[in-house]
């Protein structure tokens, strides 16, 4: 050890940002809003990084609704590769604006 204390922050998903120490909870749910999988990350980790890991566990579904933090070409391609449509609002800085519906196209609405 180099005289620095090991705090285990990576194992505990605690990140540092301008706002202090933060943690994000990413959740994958089914069409009835029941949890399928979840992942904890530090606050500085990009949402699309965690999203890619969760989509690997996505059950067969025709559509994926996600927050704009998950708007990336890689996520969209991963969802398309699983035979689903990615209904994700585009980020403000995106040049190409994809189709997005703020209303669920099927199944109950999650509150």
Q: Residue 40 and residue 70: Cα distance in Å, rounded?
A: 15
Residue 55: what are its φ and ψ, rounded to 5°? -65, -25
Mean per-residue pLDDT for 12-33? 80
Give the pLDDT score at 109.
Answer: 47
Mean per-residue pLDDT for 7-12? 53
Mean per-residue pLDDT for 50-69? 91
Give the pLDDT score at 101.
Answer: 76
Give the pLDDT score at 22.
Answer: 85
What is the pTM for the complete model shown? 0.71
Per-residue pLDDT tens over the stretch 87-110? 998 888 887 777 777 776 554 444
Which residues have C-beta within 8 Å of that of residue 109, sequence separation ≥ 6?
A: none
Residue 46: what are its φ and ψ, rounded to 5°? -65, 140
In eight-state DSSP terms, residue 37 is: E
Residue 72 has pLDDT above 50, yes or no: yes
């Amino acid at each position: 050890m180099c005289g620095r204390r090991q705090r285990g922050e990576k194992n505990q998903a605690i990140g540092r940002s301008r706002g202090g120490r933060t943690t994000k909870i990413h959740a994958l749910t089914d069409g009835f809003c029941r949890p399928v999988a979840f992942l904890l990350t530090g606050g500085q980790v990009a949402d699309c990084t965690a999203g890619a890991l969760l989509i690997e566990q996505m059950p067969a579904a025709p559509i994926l609704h996600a927050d704009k933090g998950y708007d990336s070409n890689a996520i969209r391609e991963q969802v398309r590769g699983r035979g689903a449509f990615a209904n994700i609002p585009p980020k403000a800085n995106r040049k190409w604006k994809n189709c997005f519906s703020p209303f669920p196209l099927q199944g109950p609405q999650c509150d």
